[in-house]
């Protein structure tokens, strides 16, 4: 296997590009793909102040690293979710990554700051843990970005993530979600701009990037995510990809090029993300569709709740 | 050779020589969902692993529902 660029021995094959790359040219490819996504989708300008949502996983650490390599002013924010040893390890990994590089990292621990954690919130609300986890992260990243004067929140969603979300939304024809599935969400009434610079790179490439850059990330999967629908969609798409390389990219970018605008145009006004009338949360001052926002409502519901021991799907 | 797998963590003894493609087929793993790592770096898909090798097969899939 030879590198497509220099003909030196390759370390990775990317079947959807029908190409192999050595370490140097693979890392360059990753940076080029991120730069292209930023430019093509007009994510942000040079000199923008960026807040990277970091979890200790491969994608968030890689996107932080790539943005810094590209010269962007990017700080990190980590949220301690209280998911047992998994959160302990992801916190250690993230802190070590930032400290080794001397990059600014803000940390918010849910239990310390808001007196709840994700397993407890899941039990109190009787909803899946990913629901409380997503709500908490979205609110805190949004709040930190607005208060910190950042130009955008950066997340590590990659091509596989976006294709899997698209697959799920399409299976159920969730047209309201399809109408707003984009790699950029513009800032609006109290919400920061949100961008996904990794949409041109797959999960396999992100692991390869971390290995080749010597980035130590948490490999173990979140114990509360095991068996969720999103992972099932990825498995299905990867079975297709193995038979027909390039399918995931064609599916996602074909949607962006040829379908998303139709769903956006057809979305009833009330379902359009820029059309929902918002007021100010009486508790935190953030944007809200009611008297208090969903996050503050969650904090109130979990107040005084006995912390629950971590339970894992599939365990006895 | 020693083959380390994750989620759950376990180690298998697999006789060499064997190509990466053949190893993944034997373990019924989709090439799109893993990378093979030896001594801290990636092993290309056309490499042949020997009896004395020790490799990690690292899953690449992750993510919650948000």
Residue A238 belongs to a domain:
no
Of B65, B30, B54, the closest CA to residue A222 belongs to: B65
Q: How far is CA A227 from the centre of its chain?
A: 19
Structure tokens at A67: 């943005």
Q: Give the separation between CA A306 and CA A121, rounded to whole angstroms.
A: 10
What are the angstrom distances between the C-alpha of B45 and each of A36, B13, B19, B48?
Answer: 27, 20, 8, 9
Quick one: pLDDT at residue A311? 56
Residue A273: pLDDT band with limits 50, 70, 90:
low
Nearest to B44 among A10, A59, A137 (CB): A10
Nearest to A203 among B41, B43, B62 (CB): B62
Of A11, A62, A53, the closest CA to residue A34 belongs to: A62
**Gyration radius from chain B CA atoms:** 12
Contacts of B35 in chain A (CB under 8 A): 12, 204, 207-208, 211
Other C-beta atoms closer than 10 Å to the C-beta of A101 total 12
Specify the higher pLDDT residue, A52 or A312.
A52
Distance from the Cα of B9 to chain A's closest Cα (Å) equals 9
ipTM above 0.90, yes or no: yes
Percent of chain A with pLDDT over 70: 95
In sequence order, the 6+-apart residues with CB closer than 8 A to the CB of A285 are: none
Q: What's the maximum distance between 2 C-alpha atoms anywhere in chain A?
A: 63
Specify the higher pLDDT residue, A80 or A269.
A80
Of A76, A77, A134, the closest CA to residue A108 belongs to: A77
Q: Name the closest residue on chain A to residue B38, using Cα atoms.
A: A211
Q: Give the separation between CA A60 and CA A47, rounded to whole angstroms.
A: 20
**Residues A213 and A27 sit within 8 Å (Cβ to Cβ):** yes
CB contact under 8 A, B42 and A128: no
For CA atoms A29, A194, A94, A204, the dihedral sign is: negative
Contacts of B46 in chain A (CB under 8 A): 1
Q: Give the separation between CA A87 and CA A93, rounded to whole angstroms.
A: 10
In tens, the pLDDT along A298-307 reads 999 999 899 9
The CA-based angle A223-A225-A227, given to 5 degrees, is 105
Residue A126 belongs to a domain:
yes
pLDDT at B64 over 60: no
Residue B66: pLDDT band with limits 50, 70, 90:
very low
Residue A48: pLDDT band with limits 50, 70, 90:
very high
Of A65, A66, A94, the closest CA to residue A79 belongs to: A94
The CA-based angle A62-A66-A71, given to 5 degrees, is 150
Q: Give the separation between CA A125 and CA A132, rounded to whole angstroms.
A: 8
Residue A200 belongs to a domain:
yes
- The per-residue DSSP string of A121-169 comes to HHHHHTS-HHHHHHHHHHHHHHHHHHHHT-SEEE---BHHHHHHHHHHH
- Report how many domains make up chain A: 1
Q: Give the separation between CA A249 and CA A246, rounded to whole angstroms.
A: 5
Residue A78: pLDDT band with limits 50, 70, 90:
very high
CATH of domain B2-59: 3.10.20.30
Q: Name the closest residue on chain A to residue B42, using Cα atoms.
A: A11
Residue A40 belongs to a domain:
yes
Q: Give the separation between CA A133 and CA A32, rounded to whole angstroms.
A: 32
Quick one: pLDDT at residue A315? 40
Distance from the Cα of A314 to chain B's closest Cα (Å) equals 13
Quick one: pLDDT at residue A142? 97
Residue A230 belongs to a domain:
no
**Residues A139 and A285 sit within 8 Å (Cβ to Cβ):** no
Residue ranges per domain, chain B? 2-59
Other C-beta atoms closer than 10 Å to the C-beta of A203 total 26
Q: What is the mean pLDDT of chain A?
A: 93
Residue A17 belongs to a domain:
no
Q: What's the maximum distance between 2 C-alpha atoms anywhere in chain B?
A: 43
Quick one: pLDDT at residue A123? 93
E strands, A171-252, in order: 184-185, 194-195
Quick one: pLDDT at residue A260? 96
Nearest to B42 among A161, A212, A231 (CB): A212
Query: Kind of pairing, strands B34-38 and B54-59?
Result: antiparallel
Q: Which domain holds residue A100?
A: 30-219+244-302
Mean pLDDT computed over A72-88 = 96
In sequence order, the 6+-apart residues with CB closer than 8 A to the CB of A205 are: A12, A14, A26, A30, A158
pLDDT at A262 over 90: yes
CATH number of the CATH domain containing A170: 3.40.50.620
Quick one: pLDDT at residue A316? 33
């Amino acid at each position: 296997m030879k590198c497509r660029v220099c003909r030196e021995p390759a370390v990775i094959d990317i079947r959807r590009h029908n190409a192999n790359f050595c370490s140097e040219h693979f890392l360059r490819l990753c940076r080029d793909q991120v730069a292209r996504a930023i430019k093509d989708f007009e994510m942000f300008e040079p000199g923008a102040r960026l807040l990277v949502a970091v979890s200790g996983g491969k994608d968030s650490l890689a996107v932080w690293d790539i943005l810094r390599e590209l010269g962007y002013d990017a700080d990190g924010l980590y949220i301690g979710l209280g998911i047992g040893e998994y959160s302990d390890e992801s916190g250690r990994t993230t802190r070590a990554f930032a400290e080794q590089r001397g990059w600014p990292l803000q940390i918010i621990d849910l239990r310390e700051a808001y007196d709840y954690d994700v397993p407890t919130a899941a039990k109190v609300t009787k909803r899946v843990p990913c629901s409380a986890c997503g709500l908490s992260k979205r609110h805190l990243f949004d709040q930190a970005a607005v208060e910190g004067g950042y130009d955008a929140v950066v997340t590590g969603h990659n091509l596989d993530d976006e294709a899997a979300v698209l697959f799920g939304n399409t299976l159920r024809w969730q047209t309201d979600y399809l109408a707003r599935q984009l790699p950029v969400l513009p800032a609006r009434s109290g919400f920061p701009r949100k961008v996904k610079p990794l949409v041109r790179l797959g999960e396999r490439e992100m692991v390869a990037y971390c290995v080749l850059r010597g980035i130590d990330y948490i490999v173990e999967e979140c114990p509360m995510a095991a068996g969720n629908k999103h992972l099932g969609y990825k498995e299905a798409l990867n079975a297709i990809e193995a038979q027909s390389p390039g399918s995931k990219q064609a599916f996602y970018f074909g949607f962006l090029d040829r379908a998303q605008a139709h769903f956006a145009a057809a979305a009833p006004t009330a379902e359009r993300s820029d059309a929902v009338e918002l007021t100010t949360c009486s508790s935190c001052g953030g944007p809200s569709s009611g008297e208090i926002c969903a996050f503050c409502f969650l904090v109130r519901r979990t107040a005084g709740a006995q912390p629950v021991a971590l339970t894992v799907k599939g365990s006895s | 050779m020693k083959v380390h797998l994750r989620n759950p963590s376990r180690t298998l003894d697999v006789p060499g020589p064997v190509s990466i493609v053949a190893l993944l087929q034997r373990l019924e793993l989709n090439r799109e969902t893993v990378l093979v790592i030896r001594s801290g770096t990636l092993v290309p898909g056309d490499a042949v692993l020997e009896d004395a090798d020790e490799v990690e097969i690292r899953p690449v899939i992750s993510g919650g529902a948000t």
